[in-house]
Structure 1
Amino acid sequence: MIEVKDLHKSFGDSHILKGISTTFEKGKTNLIIGQSGSGKTVFLKCLLGLFEYEQGSIAYEGRIFSKLSHEQKRDIRAEIGMVFQGSALFDSMTIAENVRFPLQMFTKQSKSEMDDRVNFVLKRVNLDNAHNKLPSEASGGMQKRVAIARAIVNKPKYLFCDEPNSGLDPKTAIVIDNLIQEITDEYNITTVINTHDMNSVMEIGEKIVFLKDGLKAWEGSNETIFKTDNETVTDFVYSSELFKKVRKMYIEENL
């Protein structure tokens, strides 16, 4: 579990995060949503330890990150897997070499142990025969699966995903959503996803934190989001006619 208390972050005179408090639960897909400029990316980078913040705390299983030594912070970073928006694969490395990279960085495993683990995670994301391909030879969906394999190769306790469906067609986006949820369930990971994709919200949003203007405007699940009368949330979620119809059908079915 990750616990956030009264988090504030500014850049000069711009107050970006204005006292956010929430928890991200273990074994669940936790989603951060909100309009552009709401503070989602800054919040995610604070959670990752990439930004220092002026006030508040972030605790990983009770370990307050800002109070840890350099070595202790490194230990937590070794427990984190990250799926970047553009996959962020190394172009000059094969798919297998990309996935092996975190093991070389954070472990002292032998080559055979690393190879076994790389083989295992590539099989888990249905890329058994892609080891020797370069990223440029892989489709966008394949690259996302490689990024997920790399993120879980070191058996992380925490998985962060920044817009994992960016640039993908709807069908492939569903495959990636399902894969992230399956992995979260299987390995009991605390997964945090920064997303604009409302299909992801509806399909895998077990815990949703909605940000507006640097504040937590609402939190709940993909079930309770249908029931909320919070106008800020409904204006964002049901901005399309499709989701308005979905909400109307849900309410009618549950009367």
Structure 2
Amino acid sequence: MIEVKNVEKSFGDAHILKGISTTFEKGKTSLVIGQSGSGKTVFLKCLLGLFIPETGTISYDGKIYSELSHDERRNLRAKMGMVFQGSALFDSMTIAENVMFPLRMFTKQSKSEMEDRVNFVLNRVNLPDAHHKMPSEASGGMQKRVAIARAIVNKPKYLFCDEPNSGLDPKTAIVIDNLIQEITDEYDITTVINSHDMNSVMEIGEKIVFLKDGFKAWEGSKDTIFKTDNEVVTDFVYSSELFKKVRKMYLEENE
């Protein structure tokens, strides 16, 4: 579990995060949503330990990050997997080498042990024959699956994803959503996803945290988001006619 208590973060005069408190539970897929400039990216970087809040704490299974030693922070980072918005694969490495990279950084495994693990995770993301391809030879959806394989290769306890469906067609986006959900369930990972994709919210949003101007404006689930009367949330979620119709149908069915 990740527990966030009264986190505030500023850069100069810009007050980005304003007293955010929430929890992200083990084995659940949590989504952080909000408009551009709401603080989502800064919040995710705080969760990753890349930014340290001025006030408040972030705890990982009861251990407060700011109180950890340098070695303890390194060990914690080794338990984190990250899927970047643009996949962030190394162009000069093969797909297998990209996936193996965290093992080289954080473990002392033998080459054969690393190769076995790479084979396992590439099979898990349905890329059994992609080892020797270069990222430039892979489609956008394949690159996302490679990024997920790399994120889970070191058996993380925490998985973070920044706009994992960015640039993907709707069908491929659903495949990626389902893959993240399956991996979260299978390995009992604490998963946090930054997203603006409402399809993802409704598909896999076991918990949703809505940020507005640096504040936590609302939190709930994909089921309760249809029921909320919070105008900030409804203005964001139901900005499209499609979701207005979906909400109307949902409310009528559950009267």
Confirm whether residue 45 of structure 1 aligns to residue 45 of structure 2: yes
Question: Structure 2: which 5+ residue stretches go unaligned?
Answer: none
CA distance in 1, matches of 2:100, 2:43: 28
Amino acid at match of 1:158: Y
Q: Give every structure 1 segment of 4 or more consecutive aligned residues whose post-TM-superposition deviation is greater than 3 Å.
A: none
CA distance in 2, matches of 1:130, 1:39: 36
| Superposition deviation, residue 31 in structure 1 | 0.3
Amino acid at match of 1:199: N
**TM, length-normalised to structure 1:** 1.00
| Superposition deviation, residue 79 in structure 1 | 0.3
1:133 match = 133
CA distance in 2, matches of 1:42, 1:70: 22
Confirm whether residue 74 of structure 1 aligns to residue 60 of structure 2: no
Sequence identity of aligned pairs in percent?
85
CA distance in 1, matches of 2:201, 2:8: 25
**Deviations 1:177-206 (CA, angstroms, capped at 9, x unpaired):** 000000000000000000010000000000
Q: Match of 2:8, SS? A: strand
Amino acid at match of 1:221: S
Q: Match of 1:82, SS? A: strand
Question: Structure 1: which 5+ residue stretches go unaligned?
Answer: none
Confirm whether residue 231 of structure 1 aligns to residue 231 of structure 2: yes
| Superposition deviation, residue 165 in structure 1 | 0.2
**Deviations 1:102-139 (CA, angstroms, capped at 9, x unpaired):** 00000000011000000000000000000000000000
**Deviations 1:127-181 (CA, angstroms, capped at 9, x unpaired):** 0000000000000000000000000000000000000000000000000000000
> Over aligned residue pairs, what C-alpha RMSD do you find?
0.3
1:3 match = 3
CA distance in 1, matches of 2:123, 2:38: 37
CA distance in 2, matches of 1:226, 1:188: 27
1:197 match = 197
CA distance in 2, matches of 1:164, 1:71: 30
Q: How does 1:69-218 map to 2 (within 5 A)?
A: 69-218=69-218
Amino acid at match of 1:87: S
CA distance in 2, matches of 1:100, 1:186: 21
**TM, length-normalised to structure 2:** 1.00
